[in-house]
Chains A and B, each alone.
Chain A
Amino acid sequence: MARRGAIIGTGQTHHRSHRLDVNGREMIHEAVTRALADCELTMRDIDAIVIGNMDHFEAINAVDTWSVEGSGGVMKPIMKVTTGGTTGTSVAIAAYYHVASGMFDKVLAIGWEKNSESDTTGAIVTCSDPIWDRYSYSGAIPSLATEASAYMEKFGATQRDAARVALRERTHAQNNPYAHMHGRPLTLDEILGSPMLTYPIKLGDICPRTDGAAAVVFAAEGVAEKLAPRPAWVKANAVRHTNTWFGDVDQRTGLESLERASREAYAAAGIKNPAEDFDVAELYLPYSYAGLKWIEALGFCPPGGGPQFIWDGHTDMGGKIPVNPSGGVMSTNCIGATALLRVAEAAIQVMGKGGARQVPEVKTALATGFGGCWWSDVFILGKEKP
């Protein structure tokens, strides 16, 4: 019988664009030390480690072996799980299964990225199939822009609608001392007036490039209750990494992978009306238009209803379903850590450790991951043991 598992502690670095003072290992170590401190454990207490990152981003092959001094993996079981942008959630899911399997009691999940050390766009371009897609593929941003162009065409959404999403993210980041964009808010006009990178995505619509790391401690039932006053229990997880070629994804439909993954996770967690049943959501939204379209895939509102849902304020702090109290991906994007930060922030909300970004009385939280070929991961946490 599978055991139940919970998150009992999290840690992250203060995310910045260039961390010249640390190498990757040292940066990982910062996040790890904070996560252990958060649940009052030492590295000796950790039974296994799961770490994820994309090798090409720092141009280090077998990055799990390289990181062991920073991750704590020396003389411990450590494995590397990596799935592109969804890496952070894949790592969280792997850590959960380490615990649920009965093999390990306390497991550390780590995601990290030292964006400043690499040519991220160059590396991302290599995620495309070298024979079919790579000639025209120019990285994540134009690819996302094609989705935006189709969505605008279909539903009449505007750049202003998307900018309202960006405004929310950047405003929320002001409550999060770890966020890259903490101390750097933007107004709607500034977003709309920012340089056009690839139509219709402007600089203000897209995530930054960040150096940062995140670490999350998972524990098994029987252990979690002793180590944390309010563990964040894993209620469900589902993943759809549906496609191999970019052309197999039709931008005229909703985000299929997120629709399928959320349907499965909701069923497992007993979620019937997501906008009502969740108290908070940390969603992987790499650009503003996603904040309009992908909440439809999640069932917060019907197709085409995204813009109205946003303008009605439902996703702001104090709204029906606050989205990204942390500021989200648009405020911090250390890619290997980004999806793990969504899980960590959702856990922080359930554990009541959110400080200035805490949503009151969180019972159930949603976290999502995105990346690869329009892939999605869904992770649900709750206050009650399932």
Chain B
Amino acid sequence: MELLTMTSPDIGMPYEWSVGIYGSKFFEEIKRNQRFVGIRCPQCGKVRVPPRRVCGACFCEMDELVYLPSTGTITAFSIVNYPFIDPATGIERPVPYTYGYIQLDGADNIFSHIINETDESKIKVGMRVRAVFKATNEMEGNIQDIRYFEIE
């Protein structure tokens, strides 16, 4: 007897998530001024990017926006080799690509994005990187308005 399986149809579950006030401000700054904006906690003084409403550790609301340069330092990275279907696009994500954790100058937390270097011998923790943006008229108000970070 044959053991059956059943595949799901490719209906794609559509979602439309709210970005919120703080997030929307972040993307607006990217579009208008190609710069990052973070937020400072009045209690612990930490600056975090992207900006968010609450400092989790202090559990207090924040409103002091801090403008940051688009440069930073690599704190961790990984070069992804295995292919997989990107649920955001439905097609296989081209590999290799480098997933990086960048500490933007002036921020206390880490910003995650793509780094455009996939040669293991040419990338190291501690290197300086700079954000590269899309052309302003192509920006859509999402994280891909930052194309990637490149090593300086």
Contact = CB atoms under 8 A, between A and B. Distances in A.
Q: Do chains A and B touch in the complex (CB under 8 A)?
A: yes
Contact of B17 (A21, A59, A130, A136): A130
B109 A248 contact: yes
Contact of B56 (A122, A146, A243, A246): A243
Interface string B78-93: 1111101111100001
Interface string A130-170: 11111111110111011111100100000000000000000
Contacts of A123: 87
A149 B125 contact: yes
A57 to B, nearest CB: 13
Contacts of B114: 135-136
B87 to A, nearest CB: 5
Main secondary structure of the interface of A (DSSP, over half): loop
B21 interface: no
Contact of A119 (B80, B85, B111): B85
B112 interface: yes
B92 to A, nearest CB: 11
B78 A198 contact: yes
A344 B129 CA distance: 46
B137 to A, nearest CB: 20
Interface string B10-22: 0000010101000
A247 B82 contact: no
Given A138-B93, A198-B79, A247-B111, A150 B84 contact: no
B43 interface: no
B81 A196 contact: yes
B58 to A, nearest CB: 13
B143 A132 contact: yes
A376 to B, nearest CB: 16
Give the bracket for the number of chain B residues in contact with chain A.
Answer: 35 or more
A43 interface: no
Interface in A66-80: none
Given A130-B15, A199-B78, 15 more contacts: A119-B85, A119-B87, A122-B87, A125-B84, A132-B23, A135-B142, A136-B100, A136-B113, A139-B84, A149-B78, A150-B76, A197-B80, A198-B81, A247-B109, A251-B110
Contacts of B49: 247
Contacts of A242: 56
Contacts of B50: 132
B43 to A, nearest CB: 16
A252 interface: yes
A249 B103 CA distance: 11
Contacts of B70: none
Nearest to B113: A136
